[in-house]
């Protein structure tokens, strides 16, 4: 099942993506679970499936405005240099432990939305990533149990301002409207093994990145277990798992996202996250 947060008829809501449209969550469920995060926290995914089974779409998918998948997340954790080939192109050895940084709320935008190229930098880079949505809360989660804590998976573009990353990851990774996530969440029952996916990033239709997620240095269960050691994970929390080789900064000459560009992150079994680059005024 594919679940998305969106605006339709001026109302912020969420629903099931099906047959080229979206099926809105029935009022009975939306009253109890006003947001997708609430539905995940309430373990209501099965209720949503039953309530929407066989329903016709309420809106054409082209008529809705996608929101960031979990607009009201509590924690957005990201992993730096977590693909073997990306570590090699960056001149790093495979890290013994994940390098974790965080995202602010105002970084995040939805599918088909605008991402802002900051006016104080031209070194605005793309990073296609697989992101994990936590479903069941936990602390000190064991690797062997980690996937049972996953609600679903989605696509992310970890927009990176390279000249600020030289100062710190936090500064280069937290510019406003720099990080699209979506378009929807595919529930975990449809992706039993997240290491068997293929990730592709395209800039204006040209393929820039391609990798299997089996090339992660620290895989999804390891990341969940590690993150839960230093912070309690809760429903709707996001863990973005890192980007493969092919980033713009390591090309000759470097390739940066610029005004008017269209960036796509596609992950097999999930879909395509599309974004439009605009200049900050």
- Token pair 């680059």: residue: 277
| Contact indicator for 234, 41 with CB cutoff of 8 Å | yes
Q: Tell me the fold of 76-279.
A: Fumarylacetoacetate hydrolase; domain 2 (3.90.850)
Global pTM reads: 0.96
Beta carbons within 8 Å of 95's beta carbon, 6+ residues apart: 81, 82, 87, 217, 218
Cα angle 172, 198, 90 (rounded to 5 degrees) comes to: 40
Domain positions in the chain: 2-66, 76-279
List residues bridging with 207 in a β-sheet.
202
Identify the sign of the CA torsion 210, 267, 179, 262: positive
Would you write out the chain's pLDDT as a tens digit for each of its 281 residues? 999 999 999 999 999 999 889 999 988 788 899 999 999 999 999 999 999 988 999 999 999 999 999 999 999 999 999 998 787 777 777 778 999 999 999 999 999 999 999 999 999 999 999 999 999 999 999 999 999 999 999 999 999 999 999 888 899 999 999 999 999 999 999 999 999 999 999 999 999 999 999 999 999 999 999 999 999 999 999 999 999 999 999 999 999 999 999 999 999 999 999 999 999 98
List residues bridging with 13 in a β-sheet.
6
CB atoms within 10 A of CB 50: 10
């Amino acid at each position: 099942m594919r679940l998305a947060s969106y605006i339709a008829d001026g109302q912020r809501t969420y629903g099931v993506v099906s047959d080229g449209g979206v099926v809105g969550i029935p009022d009975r469920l939306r009253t109890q679970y006003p947001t997708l995060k609430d539905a995940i926290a309430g373990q209501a995914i099965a209720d949503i499936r039953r309530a929407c089974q066989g329903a016709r779409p309420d809106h054409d998918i082209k008529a809705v405005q996608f929101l960031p998948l979990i607009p009201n997340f509590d924690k957005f954790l990201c992993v730096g240099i977590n693909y073997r080939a990306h570590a090699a192109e960056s001149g790093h050895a495979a890290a013994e432990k994940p390098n974790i940084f965080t995202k602010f709320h105002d970084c995040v935008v939805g599918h088909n939305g605008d991402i802002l190229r900051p006016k104080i930098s031209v070194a605005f880079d793309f990073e296609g990533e697989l992101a994990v949505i936590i479903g069941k809360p936990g602390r000190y989660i064991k690797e062997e149990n980690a996937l049972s804590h996953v609600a679903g998976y989605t696509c992310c573009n970890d927009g990176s301002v390279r000249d600020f990353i030289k100062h710190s990851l936090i500064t280069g990774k937290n510019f406003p409207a720099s990080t699209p996530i979506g378009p929807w969440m595919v529930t975990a029952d449809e992706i039993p093994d997240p290491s068997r996916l293929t990730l592709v990033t395209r800039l204006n239709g040209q393929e820039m990145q391609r990798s299997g997620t089996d090339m992660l240095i620290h895989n999804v269960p390891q990341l969940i277990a590690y993150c839960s050691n230093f912070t309690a994970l809760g429903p709707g929390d996001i863990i973005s798992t890192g980007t493969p080789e092919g980033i713009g900064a390591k090309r000759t000459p470097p390739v940066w996202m610029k005004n008017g560009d269209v960036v796509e992150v596609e992950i097999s079994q999930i879909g395509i996250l599309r974004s439009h680059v605009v200049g900050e005024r």
